[in-house]
Structure 1
């Protein structure tokens, strides 16, 4: 009797890619700048109206960057899993139904 072929264990890269880390860092920087606005008002660099406009803009930019970073991470994990699934059975990226 022949033994059934055992699948080759393939590692899936779950770590965030560099572009996702950079985007997340920029989101954190925008959030920190938003938290520093009261200091800028106290130092006389910004007026209250300017800080209010800048606050809304920085919050929107930070939220957009977080969504972008998470989307890039998800796409990286998806591509890594597809590549690992194709490499595990030797069928390639066409999807042979192994």
Structure 2
């Protein structure tokens, strides 16, 4: 009779992005959506073409910076979590008497 293979118990890893990264990513999406709404604002007479051109470049730059910042914060969050797990000897690495995962 074959017994089922039971995987080794690993502590849960926090892979979800932190709240600050989610908020920054949401602001990037909002800036991108505002950029997509510029033609409607021009048609409604709220903006002139020159104002929309300046606003478009500003919104695109802001959304790129915000998206990069959100990704950077998520990367730092994951890096810190991996460092804590390695220091505690519970994660992958050469801590706790053995190497590997």
Q: Please, what TM-score do these two structures have when normalized by structure 2?
A: 0.78
How many aligned positions are there?
Answer: 86
Q: Tell me which residue corresponds to 1:27.
A: 28
Q: How far off its partner does 1:97 sit?
A: 5.6
* RMSD (Å), alpha carbons: 1.8
Q: Please, what TM-score do these two structures have when normalized by structure 1?
A: 0.80
The structure carrying a bigger helix percent of its residues is 1
Contact 2:38–2:56 (8 Å) recurs in 1: yes
Unaligned residue ranges in structure 2 (runs of 5+) = 1-7, 97-101
Unaligned residue ranges in structure 1 (runs of 5+) = 1-6, 90-95
Q: How far off its partner does 1:85 sit?
A: 1.2
> Does 1:70 find its partner at 2:61?
no
